[in-house]
Chains A and B, each alone.
Chain A
């Protein structure tokens, strides 16, 4: 999937490189949350996915963005309200993407999207299972998605017009089709931070990075 992505100003067929890496952390996973609201649907306790890390410290759900490499991310994202959690938790979309929110739960959820400075983009009610509502997110930035009836629910949309990837359960990420050059790699995580890194990409090669988040 990554190999087929559209390039920026690069002439078609010009040689490119790739950036790969692993994201780790010393932070540990969080204890499950006790649930007292709608336990029949949500269950008595839920995992807290604010930090998803495996035994080796591999961190999932971190987003890396290669500054200056223009790329069209997904024009559409679907957020599913499933057992009182948003699935998936983190997605990358392009500016003005259509966000579809849908519910599998027979309780009222709301999908409330806020920009980093707290402005509400939309807040829609999903009173029953099976509904899908589509709304647009605006310009670039990180959009926080929450539910006003289940305050622990969280999802994030990284809205960007630059090449970006999300780390998997093993902490790995990859960005293909990068024109040779030097770039800043920005790393975002909902609860952890790390400074940007310089990466130099050479044609036909993979540049391996390792990022540690605190």
Chain B
């Protein structure tokens, strides 16, 4: 593997016996060795190598003079060598984190455990290596390398870490985009979710009403690419003469990642949801029939923008209940790469001939991002009866992620 550009002159000292490593033009050159433009690489490297040897000799003399002479080993030059020399002390050569003589109290994640590692996005790992564990809400025992390695070197470790998982077929964590409020995301999750919605109808003025809904959902992955979900809606509705609190139609769903490409990045999933007639029909809490809802969900990134789409058809078993066609499109971006960053986004939510626009803001609530909340407002753009604005949002808990750093 080629050596990514190196930032520090100090690196060279360890490489005095390396004659052919690629010289990066951005390197600070020792006095008198600025490369001639258009010079051949071989010549430049020999000049460079000789100067390095001279430099090393001067340094060696200096060290002897101060009584500090020391055997200088050759430093690691490739990513696997760097892993072995530096990272393996804590992460083990084989990535499992099981070392014979631990020098820290925490045990790092097992990089061979695909179920755990594949869900991590590259960006989080790069950030962990650059800033250290405390930069991503993990243990501060993981040191930061941003002062000693270049961003390219730091990024170079990620494929090495990925290779510890031998099993293919797991969708990459790079495809785990932030959840929109209404659009179904394509990536499977292990999450608890609470999705509240509050709307206020003020027309006619005599019949003003505030309605509250809350969906509690549990999502669990299984296999490499699948997920099931159970969700229970609760409603508290204003009926002018009374306020009723009821359970709505309980839904169960399956999702499967049909296509995932980490590098592009692109993901497409299919799902099938079934709602059961657990909600009371006559007051409008339920549909009174089983409804099958096949859907497709997809996501990609355009530059630093997340784009997620979702389309679904509601097929009631009872032929007297109308079919519905739903489609959602989300665009958003993060304020930073930190797990507790803000994400700004907007959704278009369509149902048959109606359309809403839902601007929203999301924030990771803990340093690890295991808790997150989102808040948005759904504004009707095309509507049938009255124009009802709803406040919507969610609180999610990724229950397999640590909430806070292990000290």
Chain A 122-139, CB-CB to B under 8 Å as 1, else 0, gives: 111111111101000000
Cβ of B56 to closest chain A Cβ, rounded Å:
11
A104, A125, A130, A131 pick with most chain B CB within 10 angstroms = A125
Chain B 66-88, CB-CB to A under 8 Å as 1, else 0, gives: 00101111010000001001100
Among listed B43-51, B144-152, B195-203, interface-contacting one: B144-152
Whether a CB of chain B sits under 8 angstroms from the CB of A160 is no
Contact B148 A123 (CB under 8 A): no
Which A residues are in CB contact (< 8 Å) with B145? 125, 127
- A151 and B103 in contact, given A110-B143, A120-B134, A122-B144 (Cβ under 8 angstroms): yes
Which A residues are in CB contact (< 8 Å) with B9? 130
Which B residues are in CB contact (< 8 Å) with A150? 103
Which A residues are in CB contact (< 8 Å) with B133? 123
Contact B407 A106 (CB under 8 A): no
Contact B134 A127 (CB under 8 A): no
Contact A130 B86 (CB under 8 A): no
Contact A124 B101 (CB under 8 A): no
A156 to B143, CA, bound (A): 19
Chain B 100-111, CB-CB to A under 8 Å as 1, else 0, gives: 010110000000
Which A residues are in CB contact (< 8 Å) with B144? 122-125
Contact B14 A112 (CB under 8 A): no
Taking chain A's interface residues, is the majority helix, strand, or loop, or is none over half, making it mixed? loop
Kindly report which residue of chain B lies nearest to residue A110, judged by CB atoms. Answer: B143
A37 to B142, CA, bound (A): 18
Which A residues are in CB contact (< 8 Å) with B142? 123
- A106 and B140 in contact, given A118-B407, A128-B148 (Cβ under 8 angstroms): no
Which B residues are in CB contact (< 8 Å) with A151? 103-104
A112 to B71, CA, bound (A): 26
Which B residues are in CB contact (< 8 Å) with A133? 147-148
Within 8 A of A (CB), among B146-169: 147-149
Contact B101 A36 (CB under 8 A): yes
Cβ of B272 to closest chain A Cβ, rounded Å:
47
Contact B143 A129 (CB under 8 A): no
User: Is the interface on chain B under 10, 10 to 19, 20 to 34, or 35 or more residues?
Assistant: 20 to 34
Whether a CB of chain B sits under 8 angstroms from the CB of A67 is no
A123 to B141, CA, bound (A): 7
Whether a CB of chain A sits under 8 angstroms from the CB of B11 is yes
Contact B103 A129 (CB under 8 A): no
Contact B70 A104 (CB under 8 A): yes
Which B residues are in CB contact (< 8 Å) with A36? 101
Whether a CB of chain B sits under 8 angstroms from the CB of A149 is yes
Contact A148 B13 (CB under 8 A): no
Whether a CB of chain B sits under 8 angstroms from the CB of A108 is yes
Contact partner of B10 among A110, A118, A122, A130, CB < 8 A?
Answer: A130
Contact B10 A128 (CB under 8 A): yes
Which A residues are in CB contact (< 8 Å) with B19? none
Cβ of B360 to closest chain A Cβ, rounded Å:
34
Cβ of B77 to closest chain A Cβ, rounded Å:
11
A129 to B407, CA, bound (A): 29
Whether a CB of chain A sits under 8 angstroms from the CB of B132 is yes
Contact A127 B68 (CB under 8 A): no
Within 8 A of A (CB), among B23-75: 68, 70-73, 75
Cβ of A120 to closest chain B Cβ, rounded Å:
4
B9, B71, B82, B144 pick with most chain A CB within 10 angstroms = B144
- A124 and B147 in contact, given A112-B140, A151-B103 (Cβ under 8 angstroms): yes
Q: A37-B103, A123-B140 are in contact. List 14 more A-B contacts (CB 8 A).
A: A36-B101, A37-B101, A40-B73, A108-B89, A120-B140, A122-B144, A123-B132, A124-B143, A125-B143, A127-B82, A128-B10, A128-B11, A128-B75, A148-B143
Binding site for B on A (CB under 8 A): 36-37, 40, 104, 106-108, 110, 112, 118, 120, 122-131, 133, 148-151
| 21 sample A-B contacts, Cβ–Cβ < 8 Å, listed by A number | A40-B73, A104-B68, A106-B14, A112-B143, A120-B134, A122-B144, A123-B144, A124-B132, A124-B144, A125-B143, A125-B144, A125-B148, A126-B148, A127-B85, A129-B10, A129-B14, A130-B8, A131-B8, A131-B10, A148-B103, A151-B104
